[in-house]
Structure 1
Amino acid sequence: MTAALRHIQSLPSWLVGRVAARGRGLVAEAIAVEGLKLMHHAVLAATAEYGPVAQAELGRRLAVDPKDMVGILNHLQEAGLILRAPDPADRRKNAVTVTTEGEAVLERCAALAEAANAELLAPLAPEERDTLLALLARLHEAPASF
């Protein structure tokens, strides 16, 4: 391995990115048993939190292209996890709500994601996990300098 490659692989940005990719992979694999991909899970969770919510607003909140949002919502609706109906405030828009089954799937996905994250953090002692999470939260909450 060259010194340049070792340098890149020692950078915090590289290490955090690699760990994040592994974590996303573990969570994606875990929630796949519920028939969901990561974005399906995020849209379902956002719908539960903000719903009933206009379809377009859901896309803006999650930064999802409207065409992609339609496909995601179609999948969730076909699975019986959400409902789309005309928004009472503006009949030209669809309001999206989570079904009872969607709420149950969210609960199961939360447990699956917790287990996947426990696997990710398994090499660390409990105190190290707490420290890592506290440090990551500080980095996440720090104001951007650009």
Structure 2
Amino acid sequence: MPASSRAPARVKDRPTWLVSRLFARSSGLLADGFEAHGGGLRSYHYRLLAALEEWGPASQADLGRATGIDRSDVTAVLSELESRRLVGRSADPGHGRRNIVTITAAGAEQLRELDAVVDGVQERLLSPLTAAQRRQFVALMSKLLADGSAPPTG
């Protein structure tokens, strides 16, 4: 019996099991989408670029907190993005030990390309659902996350 297709009866209909299986599926689809796009960028890169474009310049610490990415991972990912000239970092004049990060024009263009990748993944993941079911699914997930009891994870 393949482990990926079966679960014990007392497990298979539990929301925690279903959410973890769906997370694994969606993560795999996203990784495959980014891999097919090429360029070595992944979910963390996308999340940080999206945050910078939407919210504007921010400190590394604020980016980590806002996106749920661990501080050390933020530093590493921003270094990768900076080496590709997708973001710029400069010292915060009001706080000597803090860096302010901005998205570059090349970063904004890369983000648009990655948006298309992520849109394709969403379509593939949700393809069994009607448009109304998709809206309901997203609304229900958002409601479950809105109570804020669980901390964000990377």
Instruction: Report the equivalent of 2:8.
Output: 5
Q: Does 1:14 align with 2:14?
A: no
Q: Which moved more, 1:28-37 or 1:102-111?
A: 28-37
Instruction: Report the equivalent of 1:104.
Output: 109
Please state how far the C-alpha of 1:142 moved relative to its aligned partner.
4.2
2:132 aligned partner, one-letter code: E
TM-score after normalising by structure 2? 0.79
Which whole-Å deviations, capped at 9, do the CAs of 1:89-117 have from their partners, x for residues lacking one? 22332110000011111112122111111
Select 2:55's aligned residue among 23, 45, 50: 50
Alignment of 1:1-146 (within 5 A): 5-32=8-35, 33=37, 34-142=39-147, 144=149
Give the Cα separation in 1 of the matches to 2:132 and 2:54.
31
1:23 aligned partner, one-letter code: S
Tell me, what secondary structure is at the counterpart of 1:35?
coil
Q: Which moved more, 1:79-88 or 1:120-129?
A: 120-129
Unaligned segments of structure 1, at least 5 residues: none
Provide the identity percentage: 35
Unaligned segments of structure 2, at least 5 residues: 2-6
Give the Cα separation in 1 of the matches to 2:47 and 2:72.
16
Q: How many residues align?
A: 143
Please state how far the C-alpha of 1:143 moved relative to its aligned partner.
6.1
Q: Which moved more, 1:89-98 or 1:123-132?
A: 123-132
Which whole-Å deviations, capped at 9, do the CAs of 1:16-54 have from their partners, x for residues lacking one? 221122112212221332421111211222222333212
Give the Cα separation in 1 of the matches to 2:72 and 2:148.
32
TM-score after normalising by structure 1? 0.82
Task: Specify which structure has the higher proportion of helix.
Answer: 1
